Each structure stands twice: as C-alpha cells, then as structure tokens.
Amino acid sequence: MGFNWIDGLIVVAYLIAITLFGIHFRRKQQSIHTYFLGGKTIPAWALSLSIVATETSTLTVIGTPGIAFGGNLSFLQLVLGYLVGRVFISLVLIPAYFKGEMYTAYELMQRRFGSKIKHATASMFLITRALAEGVRVLAIATVVSVVLGTGDIWSILIISGLTLIYTFEGGLTAVIWTDVVQLFIYISGTLVAFFVILGLIPGGWQGVLANAGQKLTIWNFSTGLTIPYTFWAGIIGGAFLNTASHGVDQLIVQRLLAAKNERDSKVALLSSGLVILFQFTLFLIVGVMLQLLSVQPPRTRARHARQDLPHFRRTASPARCLRPHDCRDSRRRDGEPEQRHQLARFHDRGGLLSHVCDRGSHQQGRAAALALDHSPLGSRAGLPRDPVTRRPVGPGGRTHDRFDHLRQHAGRIPARRPDPEG
C-alpha cells in the first residue's frame, strides 16, 4: 500500500499545473496598483476563500483533528472568538483602511503615528512572518515525508521554489486565485476522508453518536486557568488573536485592501468567519472519528494523534480500505502451517475490521487483538466490563469478548478459556 507511480504523477502534475496557473496572471501586472491590489477587481467570495486558505496551514489540517482525537470539540469556542474579532475589525479598522488608497496596513500607522511606528511595525511583521512561515513550510515537509517518503530538505526546496515563482510573476491576483484552488483541494480531501471513515464505523453517523460520548462536548464554562479551551478564554482570547492577525497583519489586510470597496471588504471578512467555523467543525469531527477507529492503546494515542490523518489518507483511501486482495496471498497453501498463513481473516459483528494482513509472524494480528481490548467500539456488545482487565464480562462472570476468535487467528495469542466456575 505504498506510494506508487500514479500517485507520484498526480502530485507532480498538480505542482506544475498550480505553478503555471499562477504564472499566467503575469500579463495582468501592468502597474503597482494591479500587482499589490489586484486592480481591485477580485470578487468578495474569492477574497473570503483566500482569507480562509491564508490562515489555514498544514499545521491546521493535521493539528486540529489531533485536538479532537485526544480531547473533544471544545476548540470551537475559540472559533467563536474569531467571529467576534472579525466583527470588531469590520466596524473599526476596515473603514479606516478605505479612507484613501492604501497598499499596506502600515500606511495607516504612518498617518496616525508617524514613520518610526510604521517602520517598527513593518519590521516586526517581516520577522514574525518569516519565523511563522518557516514552521509552516517545515510542517508541509513533514506531511510530504509521510505521504511520499522523501526528505524534508527536498520538499522545502521544491515547494518554496514553485511558490516563489508564481507569486513573483503573478502578484496578488495569482496568490488569491491559487489560494482558492488549494482551499477546494484540502476541503474536498477532508470531506472524502470524512465519508470514508464514516463508512468504516459500524452504524455510520449513528455509530459515531453512540460511541463518541463526551468527545462531542463543545461548551465549557469553567473559569479554571489550566483548562486550554473554555468559553471565556475562547471568546476573549480568540477575539484579541483574530484582531491582531486579521486587523493589522499585512498578510490578511492586503486581501481586505484588494476588495472593490469597503462593503465588499467587510463581506469577505465576515463570510470567511462562517467558512472557518465549518472548516474547524469538519476537522474536529474527523478527529473524533479517527479516534473511534484507532487501534492504538490509550497510552500511545496522544503521541501519534497528529500523524493519524496523513497516515489514514495514505493507507486507507477508498481503493485501499481493508480488502483481502491487498495482501500478496490470501489463500493458504497445502501443508502451510496455520500460523504462517498469509492472511488471518476474521469478522466482527459491527463490521469494523474485515481482515488483518500479515506476512509471516502475525504481528499485525497480535497488535490488533491487543488494541481492540481498548477500542471504544469494543464495548458495542453492551456487556459490563471487568474492573481490573476492562474486558466485557458475560453471564456467570466469565470474562470474554467478541474478539476471542480474532485472538485464535492471531497466531501467538491463545483464546481465553472459560472460567470453570462460570
């Protein structure tokens, strides 16, 4: 289930296509007005999607599902603070930016406080942005290493070089429209992952609701300072954070200044908040569903949480999901010992797992058998659990569960024998 030549061809074709797409806007760059403001002809909906794509990085796509994987949906309280900050920017800052034509957010600083403040804030932006983008590019390299199996250095050089080419040649217009394309790609990719994972969970969406429990909790009105996501911290902290990043940071303000007029700028900013709310909700729900499918013991889940979505996309695409013929040999040869059989097949009542591919030692089957003891879906039979082993207890106190047959097929894990007293 590795990365084959067709996958590589698709990635290379995309990198070339998106670069050429950005370069073709070069012919529209006739003045500084068109280069830095796109000629103020870009529609509000495109600016809105570009804002969302700009504030969304690889860290967001990977890290947000990881938050719900190890916690719940309380992160959405921070997103509500983002919406409050956007309202403040629309009422206070955007009207000031459209009093005369400006090319940067720091021209307003010069008008109000002088050139020294302008240079100080612009320098701060360049330094902090360089540091932030360095982290984001490294995150992209990490994902590419997971998907392609390549090194970080080559990934950084290729991505940075191609981005620099179309940004330099096409100006802001190229940046905005490539943002729109990339937004549709990662949102559609996440939607595909959502429905694929949903199809693997017994009962579909009802199965998610039945097994997620407290992981679907959103609200936390606690005033504790050690809790990362509360209603009060989300509203206050999110509002201040969003005002700083969207109200005075050139990266976002440049897009607001490119709107046709003040009204379109406000529409773009406010509508981007609704898209962000949808996007983060989608990412968090995917994280919850990945946790339900996780076969890792609880102690190691948090450590691997941020790699779960890239790993799932690589190994569990619709064409690669748990099919017998994905193994090299699904039939036992004559005279071959059972424990050396290439495919240990098993079926559970919920249909979550259909087989375990093992080529030699049945280590995958053994790991799956151990991990299913801890799986949230392992309790779907509705049986009480032993207080020590945490395994379901049946009639007469006999400790058992519906994965005993998996242990029998897993090679080195013998099935537990019934309790003589049960």
Q: What is the pLDDT of residue 316?
A: 58
The H or E element spanning position 298 is helix 298-304
Q: What is the pLDDT of residue 51?
A: 97
Measured from the Cβ of residue 180, the count of other Cβ atoms closer than 10 Å reads: 18
Q: What is the pLDDT of residue 188?
A: 95
Give yes or no: residues 100 and 9 share one domain. yes
Give yes or no: residues 112 and 242 share one domain. yes
User: Residue 418 domain-assigned?
Assistant: no
Give yes or no: residues 301 and 326 share one domain. no
* Beta strand ranges found along 321-383 (DSSP E): 343-345, 355-357
Q: What is the pLDDT of residue 2?
A: 58
Q: What is the pLDDT of residue 220?
A: 95
Residue 68, beta-bridge partner list: none
Q: What is the pLDDT of residue 238?
A: 96
Residuewise pLDDT in 10s, the chain (422 residues): 556 778 778 888 888 999 999 999 998 888 889 999 999 999 999 999 999 999 998 889 888 999 999 899 999 999 999 999 999 999 999 999 998 889 998 998 898 899 999 999 999 999 998 998 888 888 877 777 766 667 788 888 888 888 899 999 999 999 999 999 999 999 999 999 999 999 999 889 999 999 998 999 999 999 999 998 999 999 999 999 999 999 999 999 999 999 999 999 999 999 999 999 999 999 999 999 999 987 444 444 444 444 466 666 656 554 444 333 444 343 444 444 443 333 333 333 333 333 333 333 344 444 444 444 444 444 444 445 555 555 555 555 554 444 444 444 444 444 444 444 44
Parent domain of 58: 5-309
User: Residue 88 domain-assigned?
Assistant: yes
What CATH number is given to the structural domain containing 259? 1.20.1730.10
Domains: count for the chain: 2
Give yes or no: residues 303 and 335 share one domain. no
**If you write DSSP's letter for every residue of 183-249 in order, what string do you get?**
HHHHHHHHHHHHHHHHHHSTTHHHHHHHHHGGGG--------TT-S--HHHHHHHHHHHHHHHHHT-
Look up the pTM and report it: 0.71
